[in-house]
Amino acid sequence: MHALDSVFSAIGDPTRRAILAQLATTELPLSHLAAQHPMSLTAVSKHVKVLANAGLVNIEKRGRTQFCRANVAPMKEAIHWLTNYQTFWEQQFNSLAKYLETEKGSSHD
């Protein structure tokens, strides 16, 4: 459950979600990511580190440049967890709709 907590914590920040969106289709140098945000390279680097600690980003150093790449595996685990709750809530809403329909029919008698 700790890994799932890390994923949800990491994606809870809008800057980190934006970074993940940037990395969704391509690998980018950290400096390129930082240029896209109104904050320092150090601040963006901290956000990337949080994503990396959650397993959502892989960082590879080539020479003096750090390249970042998205890793979707932890996100799949979060989706799976959420899907279980989606099924639960859909069943609850279906039961409520059936109950309300029977109550509506009973009130017309």
CATH topology of domain 2-107: Arc Repressor Mutant, subunit A (1.10.10)
**Model confidence over 47-91: pLDDT tens digits?**
999 999 999 999 999 999 999 999 989 988 888 888 888 888 888
Average pLDDT for the chain: 91
Please tell me the pTM assigned to this model. Answer: 0.76
| Mean pLDDT in residue range 80-108 | 83
Q: Where are the domains of the chain?
A: 2-107
Hey, what are 106's tokens?
Answer: 């009973």
Q: What type of residue sits at position 104?
A: K
Residues 6+ apart with CB under 8 A from 20: 11, 51, 56, 57, 70
**What is the percentage of the chain residues whose pLDDT exceeds 90?**
62
